[in-house]
Amino acid sequence: MNPANDALIREGDWVSGTSVKDEKFIGYVESMNENGELKVVVTQCDLQETVGTTIETKLARVKKLPAYTPSAPEEVRSLIELALMTHDKEWFEQLRARQSAASATGSASRQHTHHAPASRLFGTAPKNRSGS
């Protein structure tokens, strides 16, 4: 892995790597000490029992994942669920703000393009043929 990782990786960063037990994982850094030892909360792993646990690994065994900006509403909702599961209030609030801003932008663009549908049935009700 990259030897300059210690300058790049901080608490809260998403990383991929291998544990000291040689498990491949993806997760976020919960804590890091001055010796380059990390505690990582695992969200994906080749050993299913490890998902949702905190593992220890060395800084040299991980790589920081690139920043990700969700683009679809479903992706934002999934990240909101993850923020709730991890009890990350700040991240949750950031995601909700992003979701609200996207909803407001979407509503505004829909209002500009929305036209009242012309009813094809307007005025076409059958007339009373009995003369009443």
Q: Is residue 48 located within the same domain as residue 97?
A: no
The alpha carbon of residue 2 and the mean position of all alpha carbons in its chain are separated, in whole angstroms, by 26
**CATH code for the domain of 28:** 2.30.30.30
Asked if 60 and 93 sit in the same domain, the reply is no
Domain shared by 60 and 30, yes or no? yes
Helix H, strand E, coil C: the string for 3-39 is CCHHHHCCCCCEEEEECCCCCEEEEEEEEECCCCEEE
Residue 8 CB neighbour total at 10 angstroms: 12
Q: For residue 35, give its domain range.
A: 5-64
Question: Domain for residue 126, yes or no?
Answer: no
**Same-domain pairing of 100 and 81:** yes
Residues 105 and 78 in one domain: yes
Q: Is residue 36 part of a domain?
A: yes
pLDDT in the model for residue 129: 47
The length of the chain, given as a count of residues: 132
Whether residue 49 sits in one domain with residue 12: yes
* Cβ atoms 43, 83 nearer than 8 A: no
What is the chain's pLDDT, residue by residue, as a tens digit (132 residues)? 444 454 589 998 999 999 878 889 999 999 999 888 999 999 999 988 989 999 999 999 999 998 877 878 888 998 899 889 888 999 899 999 988 887 777 655 555 444 443 333 333 333 444 454
Together in a domain, 79 and 36:
no
Count up the domains in the chain and report the number: 2
